[in-house]
């Protein structure tokens, strides 16, 4: 990797200096960091103490040193406090939120994990309310100040709103992402996205501003204009999707722009799988001479995941989210204490420990992950990050295939500029075809590699260079015609 990337590894001094003043002038807000939580007296039920709920809720934002202490806790100690927090927050949601009052009424009081396990799983259709707004809003409309909307990749877009306090909860969760990217006040952060209703980079923008960075919007600029601004602004951090990082690199090559000679040191990506996939990450890093930092989130949930130092996966931010895992094969929840649960592919289920104005309890995200529980971390680790979407999974001649697995192979061919996957159903069987822009015009070598690594024979068709779509936001390379 280019020399400039070394700053990513050694830049923690800049980060710590910048973050030493991170809390200056910051108001105390309602946030559940887990650092200052006081557990109830032995034998006290969660229901018995409304003052306890209040103490659990009214906590101050964390600074860098406090977050380091949270991450240094042993898992058993952290887990005990986390369970108290999630039970307290669940009780608070039950008191305040009519949507969840209705859902929780049949199961009675939630005072322990056995009660919590009775809460019905929440899915995207459950959240669709009137006029396209989320149904799980706690307060009157006048209390909300932020409007965002889901991308609509799995159905109709869903409008989600946040209060000013909930937005501070977003900022708190984002600090873990910025920490993992070694983002400090001296950084110039360029946001390569248009300012539509997508929440991901609005929240990133505000979090970077709060940290003291010079934050550079690019709005509706063209790709060429963004490349020019990357150079002229001396941006050190780039926020974009993995797809767009690769597209920027392709256009830069056409325009004879040498990206490794720019000031960009880190590329923080999200919106689609890729940042934790070695082949995709390596390709981006090679083109840019910069380090890729993955993270993950969702409009209806929040920024729940941040990268490990090796770039091989994501930690679930368990200071703000309570994770569970739904086995893909059995559709049953995994036992995190069982060695049999390690490394199984499952759907991520999340409860927010915060965001009272728009909470989710046991929400099935649809993200496919492979959880592992490391002894040296209080947070669960997802090997490979987000592997794909549950509704994208295909069964081709008895083999489970995810689009991300195919992309992983295709990104290993430097000559493949872009690709498209087309799935359709022939009778009861799923079928798959792949279109590629291949500079070598040799589809057979690609088909052979897919057969070798996935055990599948698929048709690979070479199409004209530049004929396949490019993407600024989430890449839509998978056409599901089933």
**Residue where a domain terminates, one of 365, 390, 415:** 390
- φ, ψ dihedrals at 122, nearest 5°: -105, 130
Q: What percent of the chain has pLDDT over 90?
A: 58
Could you tell me if 119 and 110 are in contact, meaning their C-beta atoms sit under 8 angstroms apart?
yes
Q: What is the DSSP string of 163-213?
A: -HHHHHHHHHHHHHHHHHTT--TT-EEEE-S--SS-HHHHHHHHHHHHHT-
50 and 85 inside one domain: yes
Q: What is the DSSP string of 141-152?
A: GGG--EEEE---
Radius of gyration from C-alpha coordinates of the chain: 23
Highest mean pLDDT: which of 45-54, 72-81, 95-104? 95-104
Question: Residue 35: pLDDT band by 50, 70, 90 thresholds?
Answer: very low
Residue 28 has pLDDT above 70, yes or no: no
Looking at residue 11, its pLDDT comes to 35
| Count of helix runs (H) and strand runs (E) in the chain | 14, 21
Question: Residue 32: pLDDT band by 50, 70, 90 thresholds?
Answer: very low
The CATH number that applies at residue 250 is 3.40.50.12780
**Residue where a domain terminates, one of 366, 390, 414:** 390
146 and 198 inside one domain: yes
For the record, the structure tokens of 395 come out as: 């069964």
Residue 433 has pLDDT above 80, yes or no: yes
Euclidean distance between CA atoms 305 and 350, whole angstroms = 11
Q: How far apart are the first and last CA of the chain?
A: 42
384 and 400 inside one domain: no
Question: Residue 53: pLDDT band by 50, 70, 90 thresholds?
Answer: low
325 and 197 inside one domain: yes
Question: Residue 273: pLDDT band by 50, 70, 90 thresholds?
Answer: confident
Task: Tell me the pLDDT tens digit for each residue of 134-157.
Answer: 999 999 999 999 999 987 655 678
Give the three-state DSSP class for 421.
strand
The CATH number that applies at residue 423 is 3.30.300.30
Mean residue pLDDT of the chain comes to 84
Task: Tell me the pLDDT tens digit for each residue of 191-250.
Answer: 998 888 889 889 999 999 999 999 999 988 999 999 999 999 999 999 998 889 999 999
Domain residues for the domain of 407 are: 393-480
Question: Residue 473: pLDDT band by 50, 70, 90 thresholds?
Answer: low
Which range is least confidently modeled, 146-150, 234-238, 339-343, 433-437? 339-343
Sign of CA dihedral 160, 164, 169, 170: positive
183 and 129 inside one domain: yes
Euclidean distance between CA atoms 42 and 376, whole angstroms = 28
| Cα dist from 313 to 293, 310, 351, 386, 481, whole Å | 10, 8, 20, 8, 31
Q: Taking the CB of residue 247, how many other CB atoms lie within 10 A of it?
A: 20
For the record, the structure tokens of 418 come out as: 């872009």
320 and 438 inside one domain: no
Question: Residue 20: pLDDT band by 50, 70, 90 thresholds?
Answer: very low
Task: Tell me the pLDDT tens digit for each residue of 279-334.
Answer: 889 999 999 999 999 999 999 999 999 999 999 999 999 999 999 999 887 888 98
Q: Compute the half-sphere exposure of residue 388: CA atoms within 13 Å on the CB side of its CA.
A: 19
- pLDDT (average), residues 90-97: 94
The count of structural domains within the chain is 2
371 and 436 inside one domain: no
Query: Which residues make Cβ contacts (< 8 Å) with residue 23, sequence separation at least 6?
Result: 60, 61, 63
Looking at residue 45, its pLDDT comes to 43
114 and 212 inside one domain: yes
The residues that bridge with 260 in the sheet, in sequence order, are none
| Cα dist from 99 to 95, 124, 309, 361, 459, whole Å | 11, 14, 39, 11, 48
For the record, the structure tokens of 5 come out as: 């990337």
Could you tell me if 82 and 34 are in contact, meaning their C-beta atoms sit under 8 angstroms apart?
yes
374 and 415 inside one domain: no
Residue 30 has pLDDT above 50, yes or no: no
Looking at residue 240, its pLDDT comes to 93
115 and 235 inside one domain: yes
């Amino acid at each position: 990797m280019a020399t400039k990337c070394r700053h990513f590894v050694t830049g923690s001094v800049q980060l710590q200096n910048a973050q030493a003043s991170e809390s200056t002038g910051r108001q105390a807000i309602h946030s559940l960091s887990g650092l200052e939580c006081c557990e109830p007296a032995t034998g006290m039920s969660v229901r018995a103490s409304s003052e306890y709920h209040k103490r659990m809720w009214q906590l101050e934002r964390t600074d860098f040193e406090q977050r380091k202490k949270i991450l240094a806790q042993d898992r058993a100690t952290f887990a005990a406090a986390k369970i108290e927090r999630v039970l307290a927050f669940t009780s608070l949601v039950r008191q305040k939120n009519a949507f969840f009052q209705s859902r929780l009424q049949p199961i009675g009081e939630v005072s322990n994990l056995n009660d919590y396990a009775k809460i019905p799983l929440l899915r995207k259709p459950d959240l669709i309310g009137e006029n396209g707004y989320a149904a799980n809003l706690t307060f009157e409309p006048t209390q909300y100040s932020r409007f965002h909307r889901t991308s609509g990749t799995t159905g109709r877009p869903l409008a989600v709103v946040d209060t000013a306090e909930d937005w501070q909860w977003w900022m708190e969760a984002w600090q873990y992402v910025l920490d993992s990217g070694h983002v400090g006040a001296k950084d110039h952060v360029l946001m390569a996205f248009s300012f539509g209703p997508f929440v991901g980079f609005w929240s990133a923008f505000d979090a970077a501003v709060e940290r003291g960075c010079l934050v550079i919007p690019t709005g509706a600029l063209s790709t060429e204009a963004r490349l020019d601004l990357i150079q002229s602004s001396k941006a050190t951090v780039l926020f974009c999707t993995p797809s767009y990082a690769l597209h920027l690199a392709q256009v830069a090559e056409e325009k004879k722009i040498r990206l490794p000679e720019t000031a960009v040191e880190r590329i923080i990506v999200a919106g689609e799988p890729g940042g934790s996939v070695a082949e995709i990450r390596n390709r981006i890093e090679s083109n840019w001479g910069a380090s890729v930092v993955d993270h993950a989130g969702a409009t209806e949930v929040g920024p729940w995941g941040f990268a490990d130092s090796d770039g091989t996966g994501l930690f679930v931010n368990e200071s703000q989210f309570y994770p569970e895992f739904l086995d893909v094969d059995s559709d049953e929840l995994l036992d995190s204490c069982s060695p049999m649960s390690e490394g199984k592919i499952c759907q991520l289920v999340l409860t927010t420990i915060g965001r009272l104005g728009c909470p989710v309890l046991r929400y099935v995200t649809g993200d496919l992950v492979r959880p592992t529980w490391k002894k040296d971390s209080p947070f669960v680790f997802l090997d490979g990050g987000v592997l794909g979407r549950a509704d994208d999974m295909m069964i081709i001649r008895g083999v489970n295939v995810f689009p991300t697995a195919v992309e992983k192979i295709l990104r290993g061919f430097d000559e493949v500029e872009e690709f498209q996957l087309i799935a359709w159903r022939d009778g009861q069987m799923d079928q798959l075809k792949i279109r590629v822009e291949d500079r070598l015009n040799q589809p057979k070598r690609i088909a052979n590699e897919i057969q070798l690594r996935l055990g599948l024979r698929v048709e690979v068709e070479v199409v004209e260079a530049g004929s396949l779509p490019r993407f600024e936001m989430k890449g839509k390379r998978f056409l599901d015609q089933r």
